[in-house]
Amino acid sequence: MFSSTDIGIDLGTANILVYTKAKGIILNEPSVVALDTKSNKVIAFGEDAKAMIGKTPDSIRVVRPLKEGVIADFDVTIELLKLVMQKAAKQIGGSFRKPNVMICTPCGATSVERRAIVDAVKHSGAKSVHLIEEPVAAAIGADLPVSEPIASVIVDIGGGTTEVGIISFGGVVSANTVRVAGDRMDEDIIQYVRKKYNVLIGEPTAENIKKQIGYALISHEEETMEVRGRDIMTGLPKVVNLTSTEIQEALKESLLAILECIRATLENCPAELSGDIVDQGVIISGGGALLKGLQQWLSEEISVPVHIAPQPLESVAIGTGKSLVMLNKLDKIAR
Ligand code: ADP
Ligand code: MG
């Protein structure tokens, strides 16, 4: 039986979100945990822990326990989920005793990886755990007609992976994953600045550069940004001026890998559904959908309309929560 404290969780590589039907998104934090190196006790999580990345002494370890959409560090993931549940419960003014949880998994996750997600959520205090494929959740969250025999194409660009899914009749008809998304773009920028300027920058700086002057491969009015890092030769702090054209060059390979993944999925689409895709277009979601110019570039490349999901960073969480409500209805019918 389901109660009002049923929750939907989007356990992303970059961000973790919690949704309830009554309150909507009640928690949205980076999937980051800071631990005491010796005792392994959690010092901080979420936004507070993310602010520590690249700035801590040896006595503190900052961990992102999820990699490429799946659990890389099981124990730390449990700690993260426990803290998330506590904070989410406070958010709705109390505690939820043993909630039923709907949580998403990437399409490409193995059965072992799925099992690990279920176990981790159970360990953190859930009564029951249900899994939903990420593209289906993203499509529900973006209000697409998933349960109808109309093809919806979702491209979710997160931290660790880009997932492309074609959904029809409530299920995934065809899907593809590539391990290139936001994190890789940050890494691309770090490497580019290191090679071209002999300057080291950290991940948070690279992410800021991407968000501020990152562009998909379209012509645009050039923007510049002043960036601080450490000169590799002298070891001293150094300021460099980066342009959006340079960042475009840095991101080129990753963007082409994402495009290739989308093309491959569309080519695999059953002929009957291809027509729908021309009409409906492709929906992009996940934080990566916010990269400037991405919508325009993709629609030019694949010759199909491309739309950004209404709330790209929240679609999956909203979809997990909404699907829990559907499950609730099914449950009532079954009883
Ligand atoms: P996940 O589902 O893996 O947790 P998200 O969907 O939350 O990932 O997206 C996080 C990624 O989106 C990060 O790599 C972040 O840098 C990127 N991102 C967020 N905002 C922007 C933006 N405005 N432009 C480009 N990338 C962005
Ligand atoms: Mg995601």
Residue pLDDT, tens place only, 73-124: 999 999 999 999 999 988 887 767 788 999 999 988 899 999 999 999 999 9
Nearest CA owner, ligand 1 atom 14:
182
User: 287 CA to middle of ligand 1, Å?
Assistant: 3
d(CA 256, CA 261): 9
Tokens of 226: 């002043």
Instruction: Tell whether 241 is in a known binding site.
Output: no
Residue 1 in this model has a pLDDT that exceeds 50: no
11: which residues sit within 8 A by CB, 6+ positions away? 31, 66, 77, 81, 103, 104, 117
Rounded mean pLDDT of the chain? Answer: 92
pLDDT of residue 2: 42
Instruction: Tell whether 289 is in a known binding site.
Output: yes
Q: Which residues pair with 308 in a beta bridge?
A: 284
pTM: 0.93
Instruction: Tell whether 13 is in a known binding site.
Output: yes
Residues above pLDDT 70, as percent of the chain: 96
CA distances from 325 to 6, 23, 43, 121 (A): 9, 13, 35, 19
User: 192 CA to middle of ligand 2, Å?
Assistant: 26
pLDDT of residue 335: 44
H/E stretch holding 162: strand 162-168
pLDDT of residue 227: 98
Instruction: Tell whether 260 is in a known binding site.
Output: no
Residue of 11, 15, 84 best suited for mutating to test ligand 1, as the one with most atoms within 8 Å of CB: 15
Query: 316: pLDDT confidence band, cut at 50, 70 and 90?
Result: very high
Looking at all shown ligands, the one closest to residue 289's CA atom is 1
Closest atom of ligand 1 to CA, residue 161: 3
User: 313 CA to middle of ligand 1, Å?
Assistant: 7
Ligand 1 site, CB within 6 A: 12-15, 158-160, 182-183, 207, 210-211, 214, 286-288, 290-291, 313
Nearest CA owner, ligand 1 atom 25:
291
172-210 per-position pLDDT tens digit: 999 999 999 999 999 999 999 999 999 999 999 999 999
Residues above pLDDT 90, as percent of the chain: 79
Query: 329: pLDDT confidence band, cut at 50, 70 and 90?
Result: low
CA distances from 225 to 50, 127, 210, 242 (A): 22, 49, 11, 5
pLDDT of residue 4: 53
Nearest CA owner, ligand 1 atom 9:
287
pLDDT of residue 17: 98
pLDDT of residue 334: 46
User: 29 CA to middle of ligand 2, Å?
Assistant: 12
Instruction: Tell whether 327 is in a known binding site.
Output: no
24-55 per-position pLDDT tens digit: 999 999 999 999 999 999 999 999 999 999 99
